[in-house]
Amino acid sequence: MTKQTKKQPRKESTDQEEIVTFHYDKVDDFSTWFTEINKRAELSDQRYGVKGLVVFRAWTTVTLKIMYRLLEEDLERHGHLPVIFPALVPESNLIKEAQHVEGFAPEVFWCTRSGADNIFEEPLALRPTSESAIYPLYALWIRSWRDLPFKRYQSVAIWRYDTKMTRPFLRGREFYWIEAHNVFATAKDAEDQVLEDLAITKNFVEGHLAIPIIVLIRPQWDKFPGAVYTVAGESILPNGRFIQNSTSHMLGDNFARAYNVKFVDENEEEQYAQQTCFGPGISRMYGGLIIMHGDDDGLIFPFSLAPIQVVIIPIPKKGAKKAVEERCKELEAKLRKAGFRVYFDNTEKRPGDKYYHWEMRGVPLRLEIGNREVQDNTATIFRRDLRTRETSSVDNLTKTVKKTGNVITKELWRRAKTHFDNSFQNADTFEEICEIINQNKAARINFCTLEMKGLECAEKIKEATGADIRGVKLGEDEKPWGSCPMCGEPATVVAYVGKSY
């Protein structure tokens, strides 16, 4: 249990006033910080009445819509087309793939009746994921090798009765994501798709969220139920925990055999298809975004994802209110025409209160317009990331905003990359693993095997530290330098160990 962090005053000066605000210690009391960020920045509300189901408020939803759009556009550039499938899945569909059911059965929400006493002949599951909903239709739609590759995606919610402690965005029982389901003629084509999925993840997470990722092949005991193997794009947050941004699964022909997804090849012979599925977790990535870049004073958004990119604050002196407001309106129109998300805060709050309000919410840029700015035909620009001010002429304002917005995202990337590079530490012994995990870092260790016989060693680490074997790096043949610290057997892989959400 964490203790309440004592609030520390922070003075914010303006031309008219000095106000005192409070902030929270993100490093030493993350739980309080995260709770207060959600409440004060109005990100989510947990008072819906069903544990694990969270209301996403407007400030969050605007960014989620931007994230969806960016990922959907990238998927479509890579040949995917959108579909929408029902949320309810017949039980008979769900049980066709035995491993799939075994993996998800404890987490499935079931609908069994309508009204007071109309019991369904067949229970209906709220999709925990959509293989069992989509693949029976793929079996009807796909006939020939000419239909392949067949790449579709949908942007939806899924439901899983997660038994762990829920936390908004990071763990919940309703989860917002995109899922892509793809069909190919050959295993090589399917495996190439897995690599493409990871490139899409990397482009989005590193390019827009400004968060580095590490791509890991999951252990066999932690792969997607029914998959041949699972690969994840993960990040490491400032508290040392891994967060899974996306997973891509090589399904082989396992699901094709269960759901009869076949095609006639060029030799007129019937073949089972090779399949993949890909799941970028929108709501979880959003959680990682606010944790990675936020500071003791609130959120900090990368420029492309901010709900409001520029807020304009008037600071008029007596007798000049109208001129200042007119200039603010002109700048609002100018920036909006240039494609920026901009808001003129003309409320009756004091300027210092407005500063605090928008800094807490992570608006990247603030324009401060007073009598001097009107007279000099300039704007004072406040950067949320560095808490610095600079001056721009009104004539060059559009270019300055664009350039500074890009610089802010680069600065957030620099900070995150520095953290990422310092987050991994080699461990040779069990004691060193424990020490590294206790320091909120990830351990890089020699490990016996990612096959099922390695599970016993993984469970010992988990029991002692709360950390998991996250996997081995994809595409990098890292050579073990010793024996497994748990069983003493010669190591076959270099594995990454850490706590996760």
Q: Which CATH number fits domain 55-292: 3.30.930.10, 1.10.10.2840, 3.40.640.10, 3.20.20.70?
A: 3.30.930.10
Domain over 303-411 is classified CATH 3.20.20.70: no
Is residue 6 over pLDDT 60? no
| pLDDT (average), residues 356-380 | 96
What Cα–Cα distance (Å) separates residue 258 from each residue in 108, 135, 226, 286, 362? 20, 9, 10, 35, 48
Positive or negative torsion for Cα 265, 270, 271, 272: positive
- The CATH architecture assigned to 424-498 reads 2-Layer Sandwich (3.30)
Residue 52's pLDDT is what?
86
The model's pLDDT over 441-477, given as tens digits with 9 standing for 90+, comes to 999 999 999 999 999 999 999 999 999 999 999 988 8
Confidence of residue 21 (pLDDT cuts 50, 70, 90): low
Of the candidate ranges 19-23, 78-82, 130-134, 358-362, the one whose mean pLDDT is the lowest = 19-23
- The ranges assigned to domains in the chain are 55-292, 303-411, 424-498
> What number of other Cβ atoms are within 10 A of residue 392's Cβ?
19
Is residue 103 over pLDDT 70? yes
Positive or negative torsion for Cα 132, 137, 143, 147: negative
DSSP state of 107: G
55-292 against 303-411: fold identical:
no
195-212: buried (b, 16+ CB within 10 Å) or exposed (e) per residue? Answer: ebbbebbbebbbebbbbb
The model's pLDDT over 258-291, given as tens digits with 9 standing for 90+, comes to 999 999 999 999 999 999 999 999 999 999 999 9
Residue 165's pLDDT is what?
65
**pTM of the entire structure?**
0.92
Contacts 24+ apart (CB under 8 A), 334-338: 334/394, 334/397, 334/398, 335/310, 335/397, 335/398, 335/401, 338/398, 338/401, 338/402
| pLDDT (average), residues 316-339 | 94
DSSP state of 95: T
